[in-house]
C-alpha cells in the first residue's frame, strides 16, 4: 500500500504541475498581453521577460512539488498509524 500511495502522490504531482503550468501561462498572457516565452515559437523575447517568466514558473513548480511531497508523507504516516492499529 505504501508503494500505491507514493505512485498516487507522483500522479497528483504531475497533474498539479500541468495545471500549474497552464495557470502560469494564462496569468502571464493576461498580465502582459503576450504569449509566454517558451522558446517554441519564433517571436523574439527580451531576456528580462524570459528570466522573469522562468523565475515565476520555477517558483510555482517548486511550491507544487513541496506541497505534494508533504501531502504524500502525511498520507504514508496516516496509513502507517492505521495499519498498526488494525
pLDDT of residue 38: 79
What gap in Å lies between CA 31 and CA 23, rounded to an integer? 12
Mean pLDDT of 41-65: 89
Q: How many degrees, rounded to 5, is the angle at CA 79 between CA 77 and CA 83?
A: 120
- The answer to whether 13 and 68 have CB atoms below 8 angstroms apart is yes
In tens, the pLDDT along 61-78 reads 999 989 988 888 888 888
In tens, the pLDDT along 9-42 reads 788 888 888 999 999 999 999 999 988 887 777 7
Q: At what angle do helices 2-32 and 47-85 cross, to 10 degrees?
A: 150
pTM tops 0.85: no
Domain that holds residue 79: 2-85
What gap in Å lies between CA 79 and CA 86, rounded to an integer? 11
Number of structural domains in the chain: 1
Amino acid at each position: 500500500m505504501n508503494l500505491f500511495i507514493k505512485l498516487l502522490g507522483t500522479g497528483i504531482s504531475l497533474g498539479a504541475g500541468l495545471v500549474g503550468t497552464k495557470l502560469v501561462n494564462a496569468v502571464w498572457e493576461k498580465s502582459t498581453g503576450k504569449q509566454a516565452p517558451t522558446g517554441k515559437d519564433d517571436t523574439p523575447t527580451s531576456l528580462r521577460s524570459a528570466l522573469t517568466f522562468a523565475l515565476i514558473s520555477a517558483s510555482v513548480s517548486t511550491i507544487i512539488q513541496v506541497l505534494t511531497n508533504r501531502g504524500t508523507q502525511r498520507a504514508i504516516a496516516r496509513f502507517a498509524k492505521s495499519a498498526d492499529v488494525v
